[in-house]
Chain A
Amino acid sequence: MVLSMQCVGYVRVSTEEQVHGTSLDMQQKACFDFAKSNGWELPKENIFRDEGQSAKATNRPQLLAMLEFCRKNKGKVDKCIVWKLDRFARNSDDHVLIRTALKKNGVSLVSVTEPIDQSPTGKLMETMLSGFAEFDNDIRTFRTTEGMKKRLEQGGWPHDAPIGYVKSKTSQGITSISPDPDMAPIVKEFLETFATGQYTVKQAKDLAFEMGLKGKKGNKRTWQTTENMLKNPIYAGYIQSKYTDYKRLAGLHQALIAPDIFEKNQRILSGKNRIQFKNDDSEYPLRRDFLKCGYCEKFVTGSAPRGNGGRYPRYGCMYCKSSKIGGKKVSKSSEDVHKEFRYILSRIRYNEGRLKLFKQIVLTRWCDEYDDALKSAHEINQDIDKLKSERSRTIRKFTADQISYQEKQSVVKDIDTEIENLENKKLEADIYADQKEKIVENAILFMEDPSEFWNRAPLQIQKRVQRIIFPEGLSYDFENGFGTVKVNESYLLINKIAGEPAINSIVVAGGGLEPPTLWL
């Protein structure tokens, strides 16, 4: 408890200053000596020390503790001793704020090295010195900013390393970043997986966590940090910073992903390249962004009313009311709608150009897989050879009486099981490598029957098939079926389908489709 008028002392160093010898102990000693020479009482416990704190920050814990101490002991503390005024604040506004807080509690500010007091000259000196501290800080900020700009223009990276990278220097001594051997492969895989367009940012957040990309405390990253990561061009070898006016420049660091993957991710994030679906969409692949109500042209919805002990999934329009459109139907069972949609698909074929493009893509992807299969078969062979050698060594040890019969049997059994597993894997890799033509032919066959293909495919594939064939979606009349309301003139009319009795409608299709008579 404070019994008589006392002083408090406030000392602070930034990390940089510690290096240069302006230590806390030196400041503290100067404060004690100053108090002693003036006959003031400065107890040890009245010293508040902020270590590694910038004067820019006003939320320095010990500064706040000192102000609180002065408030609680109002009338018992009358002076606050600092070594130098710039310990307090690096701009005049903060200085005035802290100074006012002290004054409110009857505490005046005293500097060990600067002549400030309550006289007019002392007050003028204090104002000037706090102004100098701000000027000094502005100069430091300017120099730091200019240095950062220069390093960024050179392609370096003066900021913290993002996840997947660690700080490093180039051979020319420019501050930059290099791939973190542990995290970079994971970041690369994550960014490339997102580029497949199968994930929303929210799903990507979970995916990142599963892959091992965690927050600083080992927790899940937020969707915002996940999105920032996906938007960060640094992973594609670029640098972009507020110090370059957000201009994208070529970086000196090694990219983790190709620029086209980065661009693809930006298209996905902007919604242009993402297939949006929810888990419960699988029952209704045509809803949300594809099938439009023939009366109001708004997207239909899907729901499954219950009755007679079961669920009855239906498509419907939530905007139209049967009573207002002459008693016409505004919903239909999803099974019937799918049947009609599949009928349309069964009459659609891709034109020559699209087939050629698809075939080329299948071949390219197959070659990628083939390369992997060959590598995999080679690695498996090596592993099998190693295991066989191990098996022989074990048997030799047994014949040389180095291990018992039971030990030999146990080791050989494990090795044989492992060899069998590897041989199964190798068989798969071999089959793959041997069946190039068959696989490609079969893949193309899938495209030759879009109806069956669509029916068997998972949701995300169904949506892509729909988008390719009908880029603008389809209109559906719950009374008469597909497309009776509006025929988009930019589409090709497929007369073959229009005349069919099973589909009492005119069906339109997007560019790239031809009537079945034009089969290749």
Chain B
Amino acid sequence: MKLRSDAVISLDQAKKLLGDEALSMTDEEIQDLIDDFDVIAQYTIKMVQEFKNKESKQMK
């Protein structure tokens, strides 16, 4: 599975979204979380995409 590796979100944006939890995390921990979520997000998108393609072809 080929994944994108460019920055998906800035640290500041991530901190805003995380809210209070971000206060107890280091920048490195937040970056790791972004990286992990990024891979999971891309994987789930691909999986859903494959599923939808199969579904549409069957309907066709």
Contacts and interface: CB of A to CB of B under 8 A. Distances in A.
Interface string A254-283: 000010110010010000110000000000
Contact of A362 (B5, B21, B44): B44
Contacts of B6: 192, 258, 260-261
Given A272-B32, A353-B17, A354-B21, A361 B37 contact: yes
A361 B9 contact: yes
A357 B33 contact: yes
Given A261-B6, A365-B8, A464-B39, A353 B47 contact: no
Given A353-B17, A353-B21, A461-B43, A439 B4 contact: no
Q: Is the interface of A mostly helix, strand, loop or mixed?
A: helix
B41 A195 contact: no
Interface in A22-46: none
Interface stretch (A79-87, A100-108, A426-434): A426-434
Nearest to B42: A365
Contacts of B3: 193, 196, 198
Contact of B41 (A193, A261, A362, A471): A362
A364 interface: yes
Nearest to A358: B37
A432 B36 contact: no
**What bracket does the count of chain B residues touching chain A fall in?**
35 or more
A105 to B, nearest CB: 63
Contacts of A158: none
B39 A353 contact: no
A105 B25 CA distance: 75
A158 B29 CA distance: 39
B49 A432 contact: yes
Contacts of A428: 53
Contacts of A364: 8-9
B36 A464 contact: yes
A519 interface: no
Given A264-B35, A356-B17, A439-B52, A365 B5 contact: no
A461 B18 contact: no
B39 A193 contact: no
A361 B45 CA distance: 11
B37 to A, nearest CB: 5
A489 interface: no
A64 interface: no
Nearest to A456: B47
A511 B35 CA distance: 17
Given A260-B7, A360-B9, A196 B39 contact: yes
B45 A468 contact: no
Contacts of B45: 362, 365-366, 369, 439, 443
A128 interface: no
Interface string A345-370: 00000011110111011101110110
A365 B18 contact: no
Interface of A: 192-198, 258, 260-261, 264, 267, 272-273, 351-354, 356-358, 360-362, 364-366, 368-369, 427-428, 431-432, 435, 438-439, 442-443, 446-447, 453, 457-458, 460-461, 464-465, 467-468, 471, 511-512
13 contacts: A193-B2, A196-B5, A198-B3, A352-B19, A357-B9, A361-B8, A368-B4, A432-B49, A435-B52, A439-B48, A439-B49, A464-B40, A512-B18
Given A273-B35, A354-B33, A368-B4, 14 more contacts: A260-B6, A264-B5, A264-B35, A353-B19, A357-B18, A364-B9, A365-B8, A427-B56, A428-B53, A438-B52, A457-B43, A464-B39, A511-B24, A512-B18
